[in-house]
Amino acid sequence: MPKSQLTEPRSHRRRVSSSLLLAALLLAFTAVTAHASECVVLLHGLARTSHSMEDLQRTLGEAGYQVVNRNYPSRQYPVAELSDMAITPALEACAPESTRHFVTHSLGGILVRYYLQKHELPQLGRVVMLGPPNQGSEVVDALSEIPGFTWLNGPAGLELGTEAKDIPQQLGQADFSVGIIAGTQSINLVLSTMLPNPDDGKVSVASTKLKGMSDHITLPVTHPFMMQDEQVIAQTLHFLRYGHFVHSLQIPHQDPPKGFQAKQSKPQ
């Protein structure tokens, strides 16, 4: 029998299991919504805008969270300035006395780490980081002196290398509840050659890890589009609610509501 005929059923089973996991997670959050006193601050990545986080914004809002999703000038200032510039007004937009969670993409995670190292936040809840360069990125090491790099990535981009002088290496371990989602797929094979495997095209899986983190999971998603992936969104919701991810595809049986159909995660 041809090899493709042998492997196809196994691949199909993985896709079905993944779809069932996604369906179960989303069903759970249609039944249990967040309390109105919980606020989630979304922080987009380098050279991106709040538009990139709109799928998360919509789903978190439907789950009952107050959501703050604003632009910040990621290419114009270093991390120290961006941290206060992006986070302070976002926290002020949360309801008074609310628990403040963060969901970040890439650079956004570094801004949160920097902010929490400088500021006390008694109302801090949980943090979910998507593709954060917590140990820096070898891409920055390799390309930072190339003409045009600074123009494209700004002062903060130059600070995201792996050397001792770079911001990620100067920040301490996590002393808060943080879950990290790392991608294992790339649409930039050139940049991937500069990174330890596996990687998401910008950051290696190893670099996303952080001492003191509460949980870590890898998903087959790319760096630019992971925040729009359905499984990433479902896992983010689960961590915000329970403080851990779902690592097993063995899920309890639950009859979906009539007419419910889970969507497949689309390749990015």
Q: What is the pLDDT of residue 23?
A: 55
- Phi and psi, residue 48, nearest 5°: -120, 180
> Considering the entire predicted model, what is its pTM?
0.83
Domain count, the chain: 1
Q: What is the pLDDT of residue 8?
A: 40
Does residue 164 form part of some domain?
yes
Say how many CA atoms lie within 13 Å of 23 toward its Cβ.
Answer: 20
Does residue 141 form part of some domain?
yes
Does residue 10 form part of some domain?
no
Q: What is the pLDDT of residue 250?
A: 43
Does residue 76 form part of some domain?
yes
* Kind of pairing between the strands at 99-105 and 38-43: parallel
Task: Give dist(CA 178, CA 125) in Å, integer.
Answer: 9
Q: What is the pLDDT of residue 28?
A: 56
- Reduced to 3 states, what is the DSSP secondary structure of residue 85? helix
What amino acid occupies position 58?
Answer: R
**Residues in contact with 158: Cβ distance below 8 Å, sequence separation at least 6, in sequence order:** 140, 144, 149, 150
Task: Give dist(CA 43, CA 41) in Å, integer.
Answer: 7
Q: What is the pLDDT of residue 36?
A: 62
Task: Give dist(CA 154, CA 47) in Å, integer.
Answer: 9
Q: What is the pLDDT of residue 248?
A: 80
Two tokens at 179?
């879950």
Does residue 170 form part of some domain?
yes
Q: What is the pLDDT of residue 238?
A: 97
Does residue 210 form part of some domain?
yes
Two tokens at 44?
């987009």
Dihedral sign for Cα atoms in the order 161, 225, 233, 111: positive
CATH of the domain at 154: 3.40.50.1820
Domain that holds residue 43: 24-242
Does residue 258 form part of some domain?
no
Q: What is the pLDDT of residue 261?
A: 47
Does residue 14 form part of some domain?
no
* Kind of pairing between the strands at 124-130 and 66-69: unpaired
Averages of pLDDT over runs of 10 residues in the chain (268 residues) are: 40 48 56 72 98 98 97 98 98 96 98 97 97 98 94 96 97 97 96 96 98 98 97 97 86 43 43
The phi-psi region of residue 206 (left if phi > 0; otherwise alpha if psi is between -120 and 50; otherwise beta) is: alpha
